[in-house]
Amino acid sequence: MTEDPLERIEREERERKEKKGPRTLMTVLAVVAAALACGLGYLLYQRSALVQDLEGEKAELAQQMMELQNDFNTLNTDYESINHQLDTSREQVAMLIEKLSKTEATNRAKIRQYEKELGTLRAIMKGYIGQIDSLNTLNKRLTADAAAARREAAESRRANEQLTQQVENLSSQVSAGKVLRARAISLTGYYSNDKAGDRHSRVRYMVAGLTLVENSLADHGPVRVYARVKDPEGLLLANNESGDFMVNGTPMQATASRAVDYEGNEVDLSIYINNTGEFVKGVYTLEIYTEKGLLGRAECMLR
């Protein structure tokens, strides 16, 4: 039986459509699968980038904590109460650093909590600095006030000391003005022909010369002047006429002495040193005294 041409065309079209359907479905499914793979890859890339950002934020937060810890460690004060508070805050910073190190960067809630705690500790640090500055300012002011008070007390003490010293100086000046003084003190060797000389082998006696200066304030009346002569070895020369005397209550021995009548005018006098034995080579030392004290010294070199 011959097939109708129209029916054959419809049949062929129907068979073509039946064959094309599975191929189209497979193409659609392949396209969908590719799209899903691209989407998944993009999501994985975004997650990786997000994790990297979170790790960076965590590292920066850790760095800020370390800097704050260093600030606390370098903050020192002489105030015991603040030092105790500082120790507590240092422990809190150390604990915060330890907690951050044990927390995953993806735990956003914990990271934000640690950021708030870090901000609180920074505020506490600023508070400590303010307290220390205030206490240091107060301490400086108190120190300055104490120094000013000490200066005032020292100035008052110096004023009193100066006044006392002035009174003592005036008293000393009055006393010093009454002291008998001498000038032109000398010690000279003489030969047997009464000529001055310095050859020790020819010297037979020595003469101590001096001048009592004019002083109207000094006590007038008899004054005994004492001569003490020491040989080059430091031994005091003496003879049968040598005697003892007192100087401000201290006993001393004289080589020779002479009494003069002092009336406030200048007086020249000589004291002879003889009968003390042979003279030797060297430096002889003369000291002139009254019972009020030493008038002066002189030396004589015999060769």
**b/e burial code for range 239-273 (CB count within 10 A of at least 16 → b):** eeebeebeeeeeeeebbbbeeeebeeeebebebeb
Same domain for 140 and 204?
A: no
Same domain for 193 and 252?
A: yes
More confident residue, 253 or 133: 253
More confident residue, 204 or 160: 204
What pTM does this model have?
0.45
Same domain for 147 and 193?
A: no
Residue 281 has pLDDT above 90, yes or no: yes
Which range is most confident: 19-33, 93-107, 155-169?
A: 93-107
Residue 112 is predicted with a pLDDT of: 86
Residue 97 is predicted with a pLDDT of: 86
Q: Quickly count: other Cβ atoms within 10 Å of residue 136's Cβ.
A: 13
More confident residue, 174 or 79: 79
Residue 108 is predicted with a pLDDT of: 82
User: Which whole number is the average pLDDT over 2-25?
Assistant: 69
Dihedral Cα 153, 159, 162, 164, nearest 10 deg: -90
Residue 20 has pLDDT above 70, yes or no: no
User: Does residue 268 sit within a domain?
Assistant: yes
Is the distance from CB of 244 to CB of 252 less than 8 angstroms?
yes
Would you give the DSSP letter of residue 239? Answer: -
Same domain for 173 and 188?
A: no
Residue 173 is predicted with a pLDDT of: 47
Q: Quickly count: other Cβ atoms within 10 Å of residue 124's Cβ.
A: 18
Question: Which of 142, 177, 212 is at the close of a domain?
Answer: 177
User: Which whole number is the average pLDDT over 20-36?
Assistant: 67
CA distance 16 to 281: 161
Token pair in block for residue 198: 């310095």
CA distance 88 to 95: 11
CATH code of the domain in which 214 resides: 2.60.40.10
Residue 18 is predicted with a pLDDT of: 67
More confident residue, 277 or 145: 277
Instruction: Determine what percent of the chain is predicted with pLDDT higher than 90.
Output: 35
Residue 98 has pLDDT above 90, yes or no: no
Same domain for 186 and 272?
A: yes
Structural domain count of the chain: 2
CA distance 299 to 285: 5
Same domain for 294 and 214?
A: yes
Residues 6+ apart with CB under 8 A from 283: 232, 299, 300, 301, 302
Burial class (CB in 10 A: 0-12, 13-18, 19+), 114: buried
Same domain for 134 and 192?
A: no
* Structural domain range at position 70: 48-177
Q: 């980038």: which residue's tokens?
A: 49
Residue 172 is predicted with a pLDDT of: 52
Residue 79 has pLDDT above 80, yes or no: no
More confident residue, 88 or 3: 88
Phi/psi at 60 (nearest 5 deg)? -65, -40
Question: Which of 143, 177, 211 is at the close of a domain?
Answer: 177
Q: Is 205 helix (H, G, I), strand (E, B) or coil?
A: strand
Question: Which of 118, 147, 177 is at the close of a domain?
Answer: 177
CA distance 178 to 200: 40
The 10s digit of each residue's pLDDT in 163-222 is 667 656 545 544 556 788 999 999 999 999 999 999 999 999 999 999 999 988 888 899
Token pair in block for residue 273: 């040193």
Residue 241 has pLDDT above 80, yes or no: yes
